């Protein structure tokens, strides 16, 4: 994670290995970065946080079925290896 110091130089504010946490839906999850408000905080365990940004890495095991979350959020998926077959059902709550 990068930022700027008081002299406007680009700096690293975090440069460490990010722990992966097994979750009970057949995948591993790692939070790269998240914000909630100003000043930022990185200690929430919520799946989606109001008015903020969350960047996660999700590692799906091959040939498994898992659930997908339902939140009011804008999500992006970047597949770096393999493929994901995604079956979407639409329900109005």
3-state SS, residue 7: coil
Q: Does residue 41 register a pLDDT over 60?
A: no
What's residue 7's pLDDT?
A: 92
Cα gap 50→52, rounded to integer Å: 6
Residue 45: both structure tokens together: 């365990």
Q: Please say if the pLDDT value at position 62 is more than 80.
A: yes
Predicted pLDDT of residue 45: 65
Q: Residue 43: which region, alpha, beta or left (left: phi > 0; alpha: psi -120 to 50)?
A: alpha
3-class SS shares of the chain: helix, strand, coil, % to 5: 0, 30, 70
Residue 37 has pLDDT above 70, yes or no: no
**pLDDT at residue 91 is higher than 70:** no
Q: Rounded CA gap, 9 and 71, in Å?
A: 37
Q: What residues does each domain of the chain span?
A: 2-60
CB 49 within 8 A of CB 36: yes
pLDDT band at 24 (very low <50, low <70, confident <90, very high): confident
């Amino acid at each position: 994670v990068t930022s700027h110091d008081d002299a406007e130089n680009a700096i690293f504010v975090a440069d460490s290995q990010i722990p992966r946490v097994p979750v009970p839906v057949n995948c591993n999850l790692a939070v790269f970065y998240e914000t909630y408000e100003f000043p930022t905080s990185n200690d929430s365990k919520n799946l989606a946080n109001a008015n903020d940004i969350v960047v996660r890495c999700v590692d799906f095991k091959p040939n498994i079925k898992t659930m997908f979350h339902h939140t009011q959020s804008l999500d992006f998926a970047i597949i770096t290896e393999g493929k994901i077959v995604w079956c979407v059902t639409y329900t109005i709550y």
